[in-house]
Amino acid sequence: MEIIGLVAVAAGLIIGLGAMGACIGIGVMGSKYLESAARQPELMGELQTKMFLLVGLIDASFIIGTGIALWFTTANPFLAQLANLPK
């Protein structure tokens, strides 16, 4: 049962740290976009396109991490080790 508890902690860390990293990354990128758009307003459209593309990629990596964490919690590949332990 210790393995199940550790998998739950690991899944929480994967989801929590992934969300925190994505939020910090998007926040920093958004602030840099606003700074660059204020300095060169003629490039705002091109910068906005690149920013939204990168926001999508950052969110996709977080969602993939969440999917892997949920996969570990539902279809745990480490449970086979419990069956092989001597009793």
The residue from 4, 23, 50, 59 that is catalytic is 59
Q: Could you confirm whether 16 is annotated as catalytic?
A: no
Helix, strand, coil proportions of the chain in percent (round to 5)?
90, 0, 10
Distances (CA, A) of 10 to 15, 26, 74, 76: 9, 24, 13, 12
Cα separation of 78 and 3, whole Å? 7
Among all residues, which ones are annotated catalytic?
59
